[in-house]
Amino acid sequence: MLLSVIIPTLHRPESLMRQLQSLQAQTLPQFEIVVVDNAADAILMSRLAVFNQTACHPVHYVPEPRRGLMEARHAGAHCAKGDVLVYVDDDQTTAPGALEAYAHAFATYSEMAAAGGPVGLAWEAPPPQWLLDYMQPTPTMFPLLGFLDLGQEFTLDPRGILFGGNLAIRRTVLFQIGGFNPELVGTRCVGDGEVGLYRKLWEQGLLIGYVPEAKQVQYLPPHRMTVAYLRQRVAHDGASDMYTVYHPGIPSRWRLVQHAAHIAVQNAKYWLGGLPFYGRTDPWSINVQLRAARTRAQGAYLACTQHSCKNYR
């Protein structure tokens, strides 16, 4: 069984090289690395050519000038030779035994269609205490920063959860279910990405594993330790919500207007009344800010859909 590690990247050469160095230390003897560059950067291509001169696991460089995480993920899937595709991010590192753990799990459990593993956090600066306190009520999962830790036991579940930064899937299954849904294009969220992927796995009753040894570490720079960043992430989730609701079929413009009006009525108190709390870091103020950001993004998505439905199918 051959594993292909697929790394979408965009303008982050230093963190990408850190991830590639971690992959050189894998205990799995043989696997493939595919870097998909959404900037199609000739400088990065040259840098990887130099890297390959001494790498024990060389990199296959794939330029993908069509912007979007979905485009990059699919370009990697089409170029990869592996039976199992392992998607990781360019601002992470991979634990030495991660790929061997995935290979063992997929070989052992032929019924497993996809799998994920834990994602730990590496703070590039001391995190503010308010952020640590805000994360405390959810010690196993904090999606806004990509943190996931479901324990030390392997599980196999038809309702398993996958994070896009640590996701393995059989190549045949990925193409069978239609691949990833749209997600980020630059900084704009247009779809539900890996959420849509695991919903498709759920709908077909396919089993999703959790492999505790297949660990990634997510590096967090200071700008991700702010309330503004959390608001941005939650706004992406709000747009994703509406894509999930209407992707099966966009209704009439009148129905979209009704839905947008309902969101506005239900959340106006957060949009307006919450303004004095912007930037505050106590849990109640953060929750108000995040609800406002999420529901405003939902309304904005519906407004855009009314004018350009074809962009959201």
Domain definitions of the chain by residue range: 3-224, 227-312
SS3 211: coil
| Structure tokens belonging to residue 134 | 């805000």
Sort strands 216-220 and 92-94 into parallel, antiparallel or unpaired. antiparallel
Q: In what order do the strands lie in the sheet with 32-37?
A: 59-63, 32-37, 3-9, 84-88, 166-170, 112-116, 207-210, 155-157
pLDDT for 198-248, tens place per residue? Answer: 889 999 999 999 999 999 999 999 999 999 999 999 998 898 888 888 877
* Domain 3-224 annotated CATH 3.30.70.580: no
Q: Is 60 left (phi over 0), alpha (psi -120 to 50) or beta?
A: beta
As a whole number of Å, the CA-based R_g of the chain is: 20
Taking a C-beta distance cutoff of 8 angstroms, is the pair 250, 309 a contact? yes
The residue ranking higher by pLDDT, 104 or 278, is: 104
Contacts of 84 (CB under 8 A, 6+ apart): 1, 2, 3, 4, 102, 103, 106, 168, 169, 170, 171
Which pLDDT value is given to residue 313? 38
Which pLDDT value is given to residue 93? 98
| Structure tokens belonging to residue 234 | 């939650």
pLDDT exceeds 50 at position 312 = no
pLDDT for 163-174, tens place per residue? Answer: 989 999 999 999
Which pLDDT value is given to residue 68? 86
Sort strands 32-37 and 3-9 into parallel, antiparallel or unpaired. parallel
Q: How far is CA 17 from CA 28, 59, 152, 194, 293, in A?
A: 19, 11, 29, 24, 34
Sort strands 207-210 and 112-116 into parallel, antiparallel or unpaired. parallel
pLDDT for 261-296, tens place per residue? Answer: 899 888 888 888 777 888 899 999 999 999 999 999
Name 59's bridge partners: 33
Which pLDDT value is given to residue 89? 97
Taking a C-beta distance cutoff of 8 angstroms, is the pair 26, 99 a contact? yes
| Structure tokens belonging to residue 274 | 């919450």
Sort strands 166-170 and 84-88 into parallel, antiparallel or unpaired. antiparallel
Percent of the chain with pLDDT over 90: 69
In the DSSP assignment, the letter for residue 192 is: -
Taking a C-beta distance cutoff of 8 angstroms, is the pair 97, 212 a contact? no
Cβ count within 10 A of residue 47: 16
CA 97 to chain centre: 22
Which pLDDT value is given to residue 141? 93
pLDDT exceeds 50 at position 311 = no
If 0-12 CB within 10 Å is exposed, 13-18 middle and 19+ buried, where does residue 249 land?
exposed
